[in-house]
Structure 1
Amino acid sequence: MAKVEIFGGICGFNTVVSATAEQRRMVELKVESECPNWQKVQGQLKVDAYKELFGKLHESEVYRLSSPFIPHPACLVPAGIMKAIEVAAGLALPRDGFIRVIG
């Protein structure tokens, strides 16, 4: 299982993604968010890790399902969801990544 905590930045909303892999390929996601937009998306979602991670970004199930509800293209949550999928499927080590804004 992988758990990813995403701190949205200036919006102030936090999101937690839990990902569990069945046989390392099919990943079940649970998204819990303080963001009213992500609350429309949150819940259970099952994706094929290989299709998500090795396909084209615009064909990703995560981006396809969230795009009608998420008005901010710079939102960090989709990237956090993809990272949770990657770790749960055993395709990446569980290491922190971050964005630092200087300006």
Structure 2
Amino acid sequence: MARVEIFGGVCGFTTIIRASLEQKRMVQLEVESECPNWQKVQGQLKRVDAYKELFGKLHEGEVYRLSSPFIPHPACLVPAGIMKAVEVAAGLALPRDGFIRVTG
């Protein structure tokens, strides 16, 4: 199982992703978010094929397809966090932190 915690930055919202391998390639997702936009997505995004998400075209995966109608901010960090959770749950990456540092 993978758990990813995403702090969105200036929006102030935190989103928790839990991902677990169900079958060989299928990953079960649980999205819990303070963001009202992600709350609209969390009930729809429940199960994905890890290989299709991670090795397909970005705009064709379920994560981006299901979230794009509800998420008005293209720089939102949550989709990348979901993809990382899927990758770790499927055994395709080690559970290591990544980060974005913004200065200005």
State the identity %. Answer: 83
Name the structure 1 match of 2:87. Answer: 86
CA distance in 1, matches of 2:74, 2:89: 25
CA distance in 1, matches of 2:24, 2:94: 14
Name the structure 1 match of 2:23. Answer: 23
CA distance in 1, matches of 2:29, 2:103: 32
Q: CA deviation at 1:49?
A: 0.1
Q: CA deviation at 1:30?
A: 0.4
Unaligned 5+ residue runs, structure 1? Answer: none
Unaligned 5+ residue runs, structure 2? Answer: none
Name the structure 2 match of 1:45. Answer: 46
Q: Spell out structure 1 runs of 4+ moving beyond 4 A.
A: none
- State the aligned residue count: 103
Q: CA deviation at 1:24?
A: 4.0
User: Is contact 1:3–1:84 with CA below 8 Å preserved after alignment?
Assistant: yes
Name the structure 1 match of 2:58. Answer: 57
Query: Deviation per CA, 1:75-96, whole angstroms, max 9, x where unpaired?
Result: 0000000000000000000000
User: Is contact 1:24–1:90 with CA below 8 Å preserved after alignment?
Assistant: no
User: Is contact 1:6–1:76 with CA below 8 Å preserved after alignment?
Assistant: yes
Query: Deviation per CA, 1:16-38, whole angstroms, max 9, x where unpaired?
Result: 00001023410000000000000
Give secondary structure in 2 for the equivalent of 1:40: helix
| Structure 2 length-normalised TM | 0.96
Q: CA deviation at 1:102?
A: 1.1
**What's the C-alpha RMSD, in Å, of the aligned pairs?**
0.9
Structure with the higher strand share, 1 or 2: 1
Give secondary structure in 1 for the equivalent of 2:9: coil
